[in-house]
Chain A
Amino acid sequence: MSANIDHLKEEHHQPSGLMRWITTTNHKDIGSLYLWFSLLMFFVGGLMALIIRAELFQPGLQFVVPGFFNQMTTMHALIMIFGAVMPAFVGLANWQLPMMIGAPDMALPRLNNWSFWILPFAFTMLLSTLFFESGGPAAGWTLYPPLSLQGGNSMPFVIFSLHLLGASSILGAINVIATILNMRAPGMTLMKMPIFVWTWLITAFLLIASMPVLAGAITMLLTDRFYGTSFFTAAGGGDPVLFQHIFWFFGHPEVYILILPAFGIVSTIIPAFSRKKLFGYDSMVYATASIALLSFIVWAHHMFTVGMPLAGEIFFMFTTMLIAVPTGVKVFNWVATMWKGSMTFETPMLFALAFIILFTIGGFSGLMLAITPADFQYHDTYFVVAHFHYVLVPGAVFAIIAAVYYWLPKWTGKMYNETLGKVHFWMTTIFVNITFFPMHFVGLAGMPRRIPDYAVQFTDFNMIASVGAFGFGLSQLLFVYILFLTLKQPVTAEDKSWEGAEGLEWTLPSPAPYHSFDTPPKVE
């Protein structure tokens, strides 16, 4: 990912060393920064997950006190969502969008630099709260008041860092929209754009629409705590449930921010290794747009148990169920793309196939959760934990890993070791299921989420899940080793690394030149 250094020194006058990375306005440099940062955060958040799983290996408290356990669940979520998955997708957007639409760089390069360099500061601040005497945030990543208002000194720091992360995301989203709408090669109409570009365009609009809502909600929390307002305090005439409505009005589009680019990646990889065009391109675009629009009218399914009026419960149940339609269309289109193709199963394809199956399982449990009367049973149990980890780990994370394997030869000019890649895939896939599948069972049997200790009848499946989690964590060290081996090699990759790959990026040399397209290519 940092392969262009020699190449660039000849042509450009730029600071070297650390200053090069701090001052860079190049989409590839910034993309690499985002991706490395995301990998680092993936391990930080993963370490927290392992502390959680170690404590839950058996009943009774062995390692941590309940208060610290709650800090771990809260931080794990914040780090994984805002630190690992979102920056990874922005990193992929930075690398790929200009190459895919035939542009030299992103439209707003200085803004691009800024949106990345906000992140390390925001996360330093967020993580530093763990070393406070009163500890880090412990009210869950959803920060529900009144509990979050009871928190220690970490609260203003968490809120400020979330503001920074929101600003970073909004700036990134503006850049993506400006790039896609203004810098496409001549002839590339909107309906000829690669599907990854489409999914990111829609994601960017979701970011712009939802991030300010989060900012509003957490600002009200801040004033409730420090400036005597009572937006969410019942004693002062406020409404604790209002926060949940505002939070999830952000939170549900956020869920799709985490998955739409993954859809784009899978829609790129499946056709490439099936050697067949994506089936139903138009309907894929429309389905993505419908999912995005629906995401704004389903938020209250995260809070069916707050005691809404019957009409509200029915409305949110119906709209939520409706999401299954466009999501189903996507899955059917992927299967139809494979149908009568000529498939090979390199590592990116394996991850993409696992994505389809495991994400669909997460979709099924999502459909079950949409059924309000049943959700009264599932809500806030491990069944929900199993559901969202199925859509986020073998969903979003698998897509990110698939994308890295798929485009790594283009980025670096070096091909990864296919055997090791496959070993990484099988270990990851097996362990991810050992970790998360048993959570369905304990959840249905009645184990609530966010508890540091549990009744003994939940022991067996928790032990299995913990073993799986450690296996999953170790398998990711293999991923780092594969990246390390790849980067050490000399440049040998072909311009078009995959037989069935399509798109403008494969017309460029490998590694891709520093300024992707100096003259725009022609798209017929």
Chain B
Amino acid sequence: MNRLSVFLVTMLSSLTTMADWEVNMPRGVTPTANAAYDLHMLIFYITVVIGIVVFGVMFYSIFHHRKSKGAKPASFHESTTVEIIWTVIPFVILVGMAIPATKTLIMMEDTRNSEITLKVTGYQWMWKYDYVEDDVAFFSKLDSDSNEARQLGSKKDVNKVDNYLLNVDNEVVLPTDTKIRILLTASDVIHAWWVPELTGKKDAIPGYVNELWIDIKKPGVYRGQCTELCGKDHGFMPIVVRAVPKQEYTKWVSLNQKNRVADKSK
């Protein structure tokens, strides 16, 4: 009994202290992520309206047309007219959804006129980033704090780890207000690169080069994860993107190019 109450108290306290009841997709910081968000909300509201109408009629029927209220069954059981109506109306609604969806899709897939290119390669279980124009390259994997805490039987409290499972040793640094083309591939199995606030995911596939584009409008740190099952540590290869203003990015590039050169000279 005592143990149970301790358990319940810790459970409740953890609920109140964390109190992170995020129920919706985050708003993005790029035109593509925002377009996905808007489309998501549009379709969601349409389905809510349809749901209210259909379930409304259904529940009206459930409450009023029940035998215990003395309802006598009617005998109608077909009508071509209504069948046509409820075939055509949903079709029209779908066309209404398809038009904005198609426009957004075309916008998302247009990777032309990008200013810089970032090549992302998935490995079991880390990412490699190549800044194609700027000659910077590095691997990025789960930070050591998270890695220690995630082990089975670890004594480390995951709630005290900074950004548990969403932190890396080497962050990707990208400039804001720049059309960035991201090329995706993998060296072993299929991975998927996803930072929800930047844009939707795309698979990194061995033998393929996939394309994405982003244009980050707000400086900040954005976190994501691998989203295609890639083996035992699939859950442990996060992505961290730090978006900085252009000048700062240029500085970062020159610093890292120097470091690279210094590394080579050793």
Q: Which residues of A contact B (CB under 8 A)?
A: 58-67, 70, 138-140, 144, 146-147, 150, 234-235, 238-241, 274-283, 305-307, 310, 313-314, 317-318, 321-322, 324-325, 328-329, 331-332, 335-345, 353, 356-357, 360-361, 364, 367-368, 371-377, 379-381, 440-441, 444-446, 448-457, 459-461, 463, 500
In the complex, the answer to whether A338 meets B94 with C-beta atoms within 8 Å is no
Q: In the assembly, what is the distance between CA of A475 and CA of B22, in Å?
A: 29
Contact partner, A457, options B22, B50, B74, Cβ 8 Å: B22
29 A-B residue pairings within 8 Å (CB atoms) = A60-B154, A61-B154, A66-B234, A67-B232, A147-B189, A147-B229, A235-B207, A280-B83, A282-B78, A306-B203, A310-B105, A313-B105, A324-B94, A328-B86, A329-B87, A332-B82, A335-B58, A338-B58, A339-B61, A340-B65, A340-B76, A342-B73, A343-B61, A356-B58, A360-B51, A373-B101, A380-B227, A446-B224, A448-B226
Near A by CB (< 8 A), chain B positions 23-51 give: 23-26, 32-33, 35-37, 39-40, 43-44, 47, 50-51
Q: Which residues of B contact A341 (CB under 8 A)?
A: 61, 65, 71, 73-74
New contact pairs (15) apart from A305-B200, A322-B94, A379-B200, CB-CB < 8 Å: A146-B190, A234-B207, A240-B205, A240-B207, A240-B208, A329-B87, A360-B55, A371-B39, A373-B36, A374-B40, A444-B25, A448-B227, A449-B227, A451-B235, A456-B20
Q: Which residues of B contact A317 (CB under 8 A)?
A: 98, 101-102, 105
In the complex, the answer to whether A61 meets B234 with C-beta atoms within 8 Å is no
**Interface pick from B160-168, B169-177, B245-253:** B160-168
A63 CB, min distance to chain B CBs, angstroms: 8
The A interface, classified by DSSP as helix, strand, loop or mixed, is helix
Q: Which residues of A contact B44 (CB under 8 A)?
A: 368
Q: Which residues of B contact A461 (CB under 8 A)?
A: 21
Q: How many of B's residues come within 8 Å of A, CB to CB?
A: 102
The B interface, classified by DSSP as helix, strand, loop or mixed, is mixed
- Interface flag for B120 (CB, 8 Å): no
Decide: A335 near B54, CB < 8 A? Known: A371-B43, A379-B227: yes
Interface hub of A150, A283, A340, A373 (most chain B Cβ within 10 A): A373
In the complex, the answer to whether B201 meets A379 with C-beta atoms within 8 Å is yes
Decide: A335 near B57, CB < 8 A? Known: A279-B78, A368-B43, A450-B229: yes
Q: In the assembly, what is the distance between CA of A322 and CA of B158, in Å?
A: 45
In the complex, the answer to whether B47 meets A367 with C-beta atoms within 8 Å is yes
Q: Which residues of A contact B15 (CB under 8 A)?
A: 460, 463
Q: In the assembly, what is the distance between CA of A352 and CA of B57, in Å?
A: 16
In the complex, the answer to whether B74 meets A456 with C-beta atoms within 8 Å is no
Closest 9 pairs (CB-CB, A-B)? A376-B200, A234-B207, A451-B235, A307-B210, A277-B77, A340-B74, A364-B47, A445-B22, A441-B23
Q: Which residues of B contact A139 (CB under 8 A)?
A: 229
Q: In the assembly, what is the distance between CA of A450 and CA of B109, in Å?
A: 27
Decide: A376 near B108, CB < 8 A? Known: A325-B94, A445-B22: yes
In the complex, the answer to whether A307 meets B211 with C-beta atoms within 8 Å is yes
Contact partner, B109, options A310, A343, A379, A445, Cβ 8 Å: A310
In the complex, the answer to whether B83 meets A342 with C-beta atoms within 8 Å is no
Q: In the assembly, what is the distance between CA of A311 and CA of B32, in Å?
A: 19
Chain A residue, CB-CB nearest to B228: A380
In the complex, the answer to whether A377 meets B36 with C-beta atoms within 8 Å is yes
In the complex, the answer to whether A61 meets B35 with C-beta atoms within 8 Å is no
Decide: A279 near B66, CB < 8 A? Known: A240-B190, A321-B94: no
In the complex, the answer to whether B66 meets A344 with C-beta atoms within 8 Å is yes
A67 CB, min distance to chain B CBs, angstroms: 4
- Interface flag for B67 (CB, 8 Å): yes
- Interface flag for B159 (CB, 8 Å): yes
Q: In the assembly, what is the distance between CA of A52 and CA of B235, in Å?
A: 14
Q: In the assembly, what is the distance between CA of A496 and CA of B259, in Å?
A: 84
